[in-house]
Amino acid sequence: EPEVTQTPSHQVTQMGQEVILRCVPISNHLYFYWYRQILGQKVEFLVSFYNNEISEKSEIFDDQFSVERPDGSNFTLKIRSTKLEDSAMYFCASSDGQGQHFNYGYTFGSGTRLTVV
């Protein structure tokens, strides 16, 4: 079964440092997403990406965050200057459609656990 792959699985970084989280979406998917889940809390939407541009973003996705699709397979989330409150599990997801046109293909990766110290 096709998978969304994320690397690294764990990342520890010092406050103020930049981090890049990497994702390889499912190959025939066109829509890409980042979500985060702070320990013990709900999964929160950060950003969606389609046709090489951001299609929607939440209030959490401020100027410290950016996304990029540097080549035909990777999708990255960059946090420019990490804060303690950025510590969370970050999930990448991809889908094959939008709105009412999903073909049950909204799939999450296994996540990157980011710890800011």
31 binds other proteins (CB under 8 A): yes
Nearest to 60 by CA among 38, 80, 44, 41: 44
Binding pattern to other proteins, positions 40-79, x when CB under 8 A? -xxxxx--x-x----xx-x---------------------
* Choices 11-19, 21-29, 75-83, 105-113 (CB under 8 A): range interacting with other proteins: 105-113
Question: Does residue 35 belong to the site contacting other proteins (CB under 8 A)?
Answer: yes
As beta bridge partners, residue 24 has 5
How far is Cα 75 from Cα 1, in angstroms, rounded to an integer? Answer: 20
